[in-house]
Amino acid sequence: FIGEWLANPLTSTAGVDPDVRARDYALRLENSAAGLAAALRGLGQATVPYCGDQLTDLPIPVMFIAGANDTRYAGLARTMAARRGTRAEIVRGAGHNLILEDPGAVAAAVRRLLEP
């Protein structure tokens, strides 16, 4: 399952540093089939209710960030940011595993969000 999951262009870690990729793979192997199934059933996209409209109305700083290679989430980030009157943070060269693929870009985006 993990091999097929990581072969999918959306969830692939092929562009990640080989040492980081190896550690990530080892961590994934620690998961049980039952645990993964429960996570997908309980946290999967079809399970979690859409809350996008509430996100655009929050009275606090909100950042919409996605990897450019994850075209669906990048599009959603742009749409949500436009509704809020801000810009989306789209990280070039990254996909769905944004934090794993480019943690520096994520940290920089959070710093920009929190700057006074």
Kindly report the backbone phi and psi dihedral angles of residue 62, in degrees, each rounded to the nearest multiple of 5, phi listed first. Answer: -135, 135
Q: Looking at residue 91, what is its pLDDT?
A: 96
* pLDDT (average), residues 26-46: 88
| Minimum mean pLDDT range among 54-63, 85-94, 103-112 | 54-63
Q: Token pair 């996570």 is at which residue?
A: 39
Using an 8 Å Cβ cutoff, are 101 and 13 in contact? yes
pLDDT, mean of residues 77-83: 93
